[in-house]
Amino acid sequence: MIVKEEKKILSDFCSKIPESVYGPDRVAYILENSGKLKEDDIVLLRKFINRILTSMIERDASDIEIGGHGNEGYIWMRIYGKLERVKDLPQLTEDESALLIANMFNSNQKKYIAATRNLDFSYTFFYERRKINVRFRADAYFDLDTLACSMRAINTNIRPLASLDFHQNAVKYLSHSYIKFGLTLVTGITGSGKSTTLDSIVDYHNKFDPAHVIIIAAPIEYVHSSNFCLIKHREVGRDVLSFKEGVVQSLRQDPDIIIIGEMRDPDTIMAALEVTDTGHKVFSTLHTSSATESIERIIAEVDAHEQERVRNRLADVLVSVISQKLVPSLDGKIILAKEVLIMTPSVKAAIKNNNLSEIYMMINQGGPMGMLTMEQDLKRLYDQKRISVDTAITFSNNKTRINQLLSAK
């Protein structure tokens, strides 16, 4: 990658930063003055970041890390789950990286990150080789008074819901045509493919269901084209001020299905329960690793005196919970492992009576209903020779149970 001209723009700008400016003020200086570059130089730097992102796509990397003290001058990429320095890309100083990152922001975003020290945003560029627009989810933040940016490539193709290996009864519970209301949670740690699963669910409905879908996310990742569904995208921070406001406002927008990108605070959780109570089908995500933990997390998020009411409400509106992980496969790539809980009268009673410890065994015995524990699915993947025994054990939630399953004949 020849970058002589781009490197000169970066180094010339950074050499003019006053020596008296240091720490977070140095980043503030870069943010304030980056817009003063010549128009041609701004365009050239934007093309430079696009070439870096093109390199990311062509290496099949899921994530890229640019700038910050911890990068030690390198650009890092996560390729098939493994994070590594990319030594054939140019090395950049902390100031040069900060300028390159700042060049992706608009003026409002520059002010916002200077004030809050963090910015979630999306970035799009035209990928020449395939003649398509490619989108990225990005988070810019401070690392020891330097500016860093983490970006994740958003799939240009949606995986069909059928390819995720759900039991046909589980798919029924996800379908708006089968159940018109209720809350479904898709949970997992960051990078476990939750957004991809939500997009697969939207795409599934878009093939046959004349429903109005409102997607509230921060940021919007995949942009769906309306087919059978009418699909609206509302990005938090751009189209609506907060998740809670997006959920409340959606009630006045004639929705059938509401996608809440993340239930990240008590206000959003309560708003999601209220909108589900009104007879809408709602899908959302949580950062939890099992179905039981997801239920515990929602209840724990509210004040103690509210917990019994929320427990009863959740038991009434919850339809299903999908907890998922992306695990390394034997072919060097990654594969989806999941736990699926479907609401039954027994599960509902366990939630209302605060007997959450009973739910795992209900999932374990609920195979005919379409339920599946994480350990059962990891065992399935191992039996299919798609993952190793070590991977099955490492990614299980219940080590005792996975060892019992793997040793059973």
Cα–Cα distances in Å, from 307 out to 284, 286, 319? 20, 18, 19
Joined together, the tokens standing for residue 35 give 């817009």
Residue in this structure with the two tokens 């996800």, named with its chain if needed: 174
120 token code pair = 């979630």
pTM: 0.80
E strand or H helix that includes residue 83: strand 82-85
Sheet holding 334-342, edge to edge: 230-235, 212-217, 257-260, 281-286, 182-187, 318-328, 334-342
Q: Nearest-CA neighbor of 395 among 384, 408, 382? A: 382
Long-range contacts (CB closer than 8 Å, 24 or more residues apart) made by 80-88: 80/328, 80/332, 80/333, 80/334, 81/326, 81/328, 81/334, 86/55, 86/59, 88/1
User: Rounded CA gap, 1 and 95, in Å?
Assistant: 20
Question: Which portions of the chain are predicted below pLDDT 70?
Answer: 1-2, 409
pLDDT given at position 292: 95
Distance CA 382, CA 377 (A): 9
Domains and their CATH numbers in the chain: 4-153 (3.30.450.90), 161-407 (3.40.50.300)
For tokens 């409400």, name the residue: 313
SS3 readout for 217-244: ECCCCCCCCCCCCEEEEEEECCCECCHH
